[in-house]
Chain A
């Protein structure tokens, strides 16, 4: 026999839901007992069928593709997002300075450092070269070492006054002429074994200087990359803040638009009534 009105003595709503989801909060006996009731109760059976239908409908609702490109789509990004967030949260006081001011400070610092480090940038037939440190260029080194040998005063190739360059050029010319004369005379007097040793020494010194220059160039490139990375992180943090602020402004604007629209509607209705 099938009942059209439910006569279940317990909490029917809870029992229906538990039966529907087949959850383990019921003992086997309770479940079996309610199963027997459902088989004889048309009301409960209909309601269970309707609920199963709703569950099928719910299955149609899928969230849109999250597109985690900017969140956690892959591990390195996730870590970088966490690192960035940690960097923002634990930022020291100086990171609250605007990015442009930090860039300006960084450039000033680089400029002063370059000045102190005797930065020498050259663009000639050999291409672009950046030289730092107190090592002199090869030509200048030859000129300055040759000068005492010639008995003249040592003049740095790096002068401030405009005439210094002319003076150095003149000195180089004179010392070159004198050296040519000296080497021609010395070549005949010196033993042949000494010359290769000197050449080897010069080669080694040059190799050392080259290596040192390369190392300094690498160091400079590394520092520039670090500054760029820091600027980029700060820029992203600033963008996130701006984005958040814009969102708040957008919300406020939305509310204002809604209010205005309501007022216009009200006025419109009022004008209709007046007519």
Chain B
């Protein structure tokens, strides 16, 4: 039998730790993906993901079900991401060179995947990643929540604590910037190919 999130939460509050484990298994990947797309670093995204569940676990007795469990988790994760971004701005680290990172490639390589396929896949993904990194935080978060997590405009507005129209405007502006940046990247790649 499959329990709903709310049932699992109720059981967890009642002391059933297995139910909380079930919630973790169910939501760890979406939360990790949200953190990764918001802060852009694998290791830190994992930390944020872990911290999200630890905070949720501690705060579970206070969860009254006013919002969906997933929205509550998203809110915790987004707050942690915001803290992380604030910290990083205070102590910026040196950005790696823009060329292909061999170490990263080696780490990401899978036995079934050739290095050429891997580079191609990374290139496609990297172009979007770079364009997303250029967006202001609030536009990026709105796009991530809508595009990758399928939240409604209303849910995003509640999560981010802003009016519905603001969410739509952020999405529109974000998509416009992405369109421009991806087109620019496309042109540069085409120029390189002709040289």
Contact = CB atoms under 8 A, between A and B. Distances in A.
B42 A64 contact: yes
B28 interface: yes
Interface string A35-72: 00000000000000011011101101111101110111
A78 B21 contact: yes
A192 B156 CA distance: 95
A113 B29 CA distance: 49
Contact of A85 (B54, B92, B182): B54
Tell me the dominant secondary structure on chain B's binding face: helix
A31 to B, nearest CB: 14
B29 A66 contact: yes
Nearest to A83: B17
A266 interface: no
A25 B164 contact: yes
B195 to A, nearest CB: 24
Contacts of B53: 72, 78, 82
A258 interface: yes
Contacts of B25: 72, 74-75, 78
Contacts of A61: 37, 125, 128-129, 132
Contacts of A254: 93-94
A212 interface: no
A67 B43 CA distance: 10
Given A60-B128, A61-B129, A72-B25, A21 B146 contact: yes
Interface residues of A, number: 45
B106 to A, nearest CB: 13
B32 interface: yes
B168 interface: yes
Size category of the B interface is 35 or more
B91 A251 contact: yes
Contact of A71 (B18, B50, B154, B173): B50
A160 interface: no
Interface in B143-195: 143, 146-148, 152-154, 164-165, 168-169, 171-173, 175, 178-179, 182
Interface of B: 17-18, 20-22, 24-25, 28-29, 32-33, 36-37, 42, 45-46, 49-50, 53-54, 57-58, 91-94, 108, 124-125, 127-129, 132, 143, 146-148, 152-154, 164-165, 168-169, 171-173, 175, 178-179, 182
Interface of A: 11, 13-14, 16-18, 21, 23-25, 50-51, 53-55, 57-58, 60-64, 66-68, 70-72, 74-76, 78-79, 81-82, 85-86, 248, 250-252, 254-255, 257-258
Given A21-B171, A78-B20, 5 more contacts: A17-B172, A51-B175, A54-B179, A72-B28, A75-B18
